[in-house]
Chains A and B, each alone.
Chain A
């Protein structure tokens, strides 16, 4: 399956101009994030490290970006699977080096993708407090326990912009808390039934 064109594999061979393996590694990890090939500083650094033009640097970054994302998407975990992606004519030492770098990083990249996928605002932090109400305008003497719950939610947009945090504070009576724990217990039972299967 030709997902990278001949031209893009040729661009990858520009890595042969790198002075050391570490430079290759650095370029590869910097090209992974979305928009790396559009970031001027990354392009500058790559062009300088390999002594190539900015245009060629962009081609290289794009090509490696596509290759690494393909490996993560298909969850290619063995060297043979990755090696088979390259054309016959590709420089073999470089091929092995790139495969090694991809295998080293794919687990990290996979976990990063899982944690930054589209989702509803994520619960980041949780705090609670139990108070005792001793008086109110309708009763001058009472002893009613109540629970205050504060949750911090973080919404990380996938496409652009920074994360936005919001705080939700809510008050629960004893009955509400009991009902909530009932519901959560049912979720736990269903979860263990699902994972047992």
Chain B
């Protein structure tokens, strides 16, 4: 059993065969492996297959196994050396392993930032719009000069967004700003 950095599970047999098959590809694969961007990746694969005169099907299957490594490596925050070691254990040749781990080193910050961005967020605040004005009169008061502030918050709930409208008086607005600044100060403590 291979001791690998990127996963503790037993890999199915075809995975190591697939990695060894990677050696057969003469072109160097310059692919930035973005997790969850499977559609774009599949399109790139089909193009690549077309350009190099091979069928897309087996290539896709191969790539599915290959992708196990970057996903696992990202999840476990592996260094480029560990990634290279795993690739060599799986049977990829030295050249390609080195190239892949170099690419990993270069793209790792972007990949981990993207992974953070994809982490679950509940009712994420997407947008905020505001307007403020003066109430000139009402049915009860012919002339007033009350300042009001209206906020529209756009919140993502699942796949749709929900708009929340609210109105604040001036003191409430200053209190809201004060509380948000306290929250920001608290967050700044941790970064």
Which residues of A come within 8 Å of B, CB atoms?
A: 69, 72-75, 110, 113-114, 117-123, 126, 128, 130, 132-133, 136-149, 151, 153, 168-174, 176-181, 183-185, 187-188, 190-191, 194-195
Contacts and interface: CB of A to CB of B under 8 A. Distances in A.
B76 A144 contact: no
Given A122-B168, A138-B118, A139-B115, A170 B77 contact: no
B138 to A, nearest CB: 5
Given A110-B141, A128-B182, A171-B124, 9 more contacts: A118-B138, A120-B167, A126-B176, A147-B183, A184-B176, A184-B180, A187-B130, A187-B149, A194-B147
A147 B187 contact: yes
B74 A138 contact: yes
B122 A126 contact: no
A170 B183 contact: no
A8 B114 CA distance: 74
B179 interface: yes
A192 B120 CA distance: 39
Contact of A136 (B76, B120, B140, B172): B120
Contacts, number: 152
Given A72-B140, A139-B77, A190-B132, A123 B118 contact: no
Bin chain B's interface residue count: 35 or more
A146 B70 CA distance: 26
Contacts of B143: 75
Contacts of A183: 128, 130
19 contacts: A69-B140, A110-B141, A117-B140, A128-B179, A128-B182, A130-B186, A143-B190, A147-B183, A153-B166, A168-B123, A171-B123, A176-B124, A180-B125, A180-B180, A184-B177, A185-B177, A187-B130, A191-B147, A195-B147
